[in-house]
Chains A and B, each alone.
Chain A
Amino acid sequence: MPLRGAGKQQKTVFELIIVRFFSVYYGVIEEGIGYMEPAGIRFIKKRDSRVVPFDITKIDEAIFRAARTQGGTDRTMSRALAEQVASMLAAERNETPDVEHVQDVVEKVLIENGHARTAKAYILYRNERTRVREMKTRLMNTLRDLSFTDAKDLDLKRENANIDGDTPMGTMLRYGSEAAKAFYKNYLLSPEHSRAHEEGDIHIHDLDFLSLTTTCCQIDIKKLFNGGFNTGHGFLREPNSIQCASALACIAIQSNQNDQHGGQSIPNFEYGLAPGVARSFIKNIDLALDMRDADEDFRSSVKAALSGFAFPTGEYASFRSILGEEGLAFVRSQLVKGIAAEEADRVVAKAVARTDKDTYQAMEGLLHNLNTMHSRAGAQVPFSSINYGTDTSAEGRMVIRNTLLAEDAGLGNGETPIFPIHIFKVREGYSFNPEDPNYDLFKLACRVSAKRLFPNFSFMEAPINREYLQGDDPDHEVAYMGCRTRVMANRYDKSRETTFGRGNLSFTTINLPRLGLKHRGDIEGFFEDLNKVIDLVFSQLLERFEIQSHKRCRNYPFLMGQGIWLDSDNLTSFDEVGEILKHGTLTTGFIGLAECLKALLGVHHGESAEAQELGLRIVRTIRERSDAQGEKTGLNFTVIATPAEGLAGRFVKYDRKLFGSIPGITDRDYYTNSFHIPVYFPITAFNKIRLEAPYHAFTNGGHISYVEVDGDPLNNLQAFEDIVKAMKEMGIGYGSINHPVDRDPVCGYTGIIGDVCPRCGRRDGEGIPLSTLKRLKGYVCDSRSSDERSESRDKIANIKL
């Protein structure tokens, strides 16, 4: 895959940039064409309106350089031509001609004197210069807007809703991003890809990171913690407690976030933290013995025996459960060697309770950390996700339960935590049916999600996820990146079909509504064109992959340096990452299936079965093409239901210019997300799930379906659970339920707030007397009292949500 067919593979990206760059700068007439003489012209006017002395040597130089690219070496000739230009200008009797006009005359003289090839070279340079100048102007205007316009008035500053564009670091991030994009579009992207992106046929996501890094990664924390790790600024030993383990999990996410532009996820959250729980427990046993003034030698023998049981090799990853029945029986058997049986029971009970408390505090700390720690020069907190739900060990269950309880409690003032995204794995035999060991946790997950919007739910038995399951092994359970990205199949290495240590490399989205609008009513014409755009996306993904491949291990001190990415532990710091990046995915996305169907058929897939059939054919086509491309290249080409944020409004703006405002297609300010039924279309939850589920089976690079629920779902938990079950039954891979979560920061109320806060009675932006607020004290930290909570729990289902 040579970059843009540029010959030898050894030509690095950097060299390519240099070549393109200098082809622009050399041999160019710079802005100032000045002069002194002969018959008249003494000044010329520059583009910025400044008047400067005319200098014939600049014309001479420009002509000579243009000629030289064609093999010319004749200095005398170029001088003579320059003089001809000067006298032609003088004859026009315009005292101060402008630069553009002077260049016109240069072209004319070259052509009239039979130097066609030199003229052509000259014209090319001139056009290139114009392009660069325009680009610079555009960039400068953008930077000016970023500097002096508030985010509320500038869409560009709200490209990502979780970055505050008004802060110094947020703005700096935007400067960098806009400058990088301008640079890549002009010097690094193939012109055809650049044009397709600029004109809105496709959208190259995270273009500002084109030459720098890849999207995201699923961090296997169990592997990372084993033997300790290094952040690049210091070595961290294996965690010896759950508090420490959870803190390190945050640090892992934060460190990796700085090496990639997308989100960071942990696929085995509870499995990875369970050993930390066991270590806390062993400590707490020791502490309880210490409180009872137990003999030092006895204490250390117990500690050694317990550690030996839970960590047979001594290493973190060698963990086996000690808090389960078998483990606790062993603990007792050790304790009774030195203390009475009843005393031993008390010690165990104490240690278990203490460990549970420690775990809650650790999870509370994790939530606070992930909502406050910064990455990317402070511009944002890491975009974090955690997957959990299927570990049935006592330790794993303790992690899950306390994570959910901490999410339920919220942050310091009871706020709903924005990060991490929690993803509860729903799996039969583990966490779904009433007889499953983690069924209680599934119920708890539903309750917490009904209050906090998280967890989302991922379904291990969905048609697309089922085939990978292998016994208890979490390696073979599909984990999601919170936004929706999914990585599982591995064409590059079929023996490594796992989520762990892998992620997306880059993705590019197809503007489906535009294709529909170009071929209204002409289905076959549409598919023909769709296939061309798919080809374009493939070539662009491959070109970007080529750029990414030449990066070195040392460019990613954490991601590659600490062995997070699959097989990166085999690299030395100067090795190129190309080979191991093949574990990642190259992904084609799409947006606005609904608007596309509207354009083609006049109805979308929520409105007609025919449209649904065509919708499935479209997405199946993208998937089949992507599979074939994977077969051809041996790379992991996948299809994603694009999570469009900035893109939601971008394409439609262009298409409205091209096609006008067409009802149901371009008359709104956004295109409908991926394969979703339009948000404005009235449809029952059941039907929405039924219609969207089949698309999950095609989108192997990621998908999510939402159901919007009215009212407070805490009042109808049975209904909430029913929706989750319906998602599972109908084959949804990953889904969640949206409901309004409002909070009044003044009194701390969380729930639904209409115009007036139900607790303190104030309106949006209105002040209330301090005395009133003081009477509410005690409610401030928690939005609901325990009475309120149990009362709502008792309310029966079937009332209208």
Chain B
Amino acid sequence: MIHCKSEMAAADADQILIGSNVKFERIRRITGYLVGTLDRFNNGKAAEERERVKHCSMDAWK
């Protein structure tokens, strides 16, 4: 997923950069199901996800 073995063998560990272009996974709920990446959200749902505000600040809770 991240690196290949030959690459590791070929160079010194300090010089190899791991994870270039590997994005963070951001798991979100969409219509009840989870999705492992925001990349596959359709335009409408992506817009909705961006605008979600948090409801729970414990101070205001109760």
Contact = CB atoms under 8 A, between A and B. Distances in A.
A742 to B, nearest CB: 5
A753 interface: yes
Nearest to B54: A710
B5 interface: no
Interface in B1-25: 1-3, 8, 13-25
A644 B56 contact: no
B61 A719 contact: yes
Interface stretch (A156-164, A232-240, A306-314, A395-403): A156-164
A746 B56 CA distance: 31
Given A162-B33, A745-B1, A770-B13, A800 B47 contact: no
Instruction: Assign chain B's interface to a size class.
Output: 35 or more
Given A736-B29, A768-B18, A152 B57 contact: no
Given A710-B56, A798-B58, A774 B45 contact: no
Contacts, number: 204
Where chain A touches its partner, the secondary structure class is loop
Contacts of A669: 43-44, 46-48
Given A765-B21, A766-B20, A774-B13, A159 B56 contact: no
- How extensive is the interface on chain A, given as a class? 35 or more
A489 B29 CA distance: 28
A363 interface: no
Nearest to A741: B27
Contacts of B3: 770
B20 to A, nearest CB: 4
A443 B11 CA distance: 49
Contacts of A767: 17-20
B22 A708 contact: no
Interface string A715-745: 0100100110000000000001010111111
Mostly, the B contact residues are loop
Contacts of B1: 745
Contact of B15 (A421, A649, A681, A769): A769
A798 B62 CA distance: 11
B26 A742 contact: yes
Given A643-B31, A684-B60, A670 B48 contact: yes
A645 interface: yes
A708 B56 contact: yes
A645 B30 contact: yes
B17 A769 contact: yes
A502 to B, nearest CB: 19
Given A679-B48, A768-B17, A686 B61 contact: yes
Contacts of A719: 56, 58, 61
A271 interface: no
A442 interface: no
A453 B40 contact: no
Contacts of A681: 53
A454 B29 CA distance: 10
A738 B55 CA distance: 10
A418 B34 CA distance: 5
27 contacts: A151-B39, A161-B33, A161-B45, A453-B27, A482-B33, A483-B33, A484-B31, A670-B44, A683-B55, A684-B57, A708-B56, A709-B55, A719-B58, A738-B28, A738-B52, A741-B26, A742-B24, A742-B25, A742-B27, A745-B22, A764-B23, A765-B23, A767-B18, A768-B17, A771-B14, A773-B19, A797-B58
Interface of B: 1-3, 8, 13-36, 39-48, 51-62
Pairs A-B, 4 closest by C-beta atoms: A649-B44, A767-B17, A746-B19, A767-B20
Given A741-B27, A767-B20, 16 more contacts: A162-B33, A453-B34, A648-B44, A649-B45, A669-B48, A686-B60, A686-B61, A706-B29, A708-B53, A709-B54, A723-B61, A766-B19, A767-B18, A768-B17, A769-B17, A801-B57
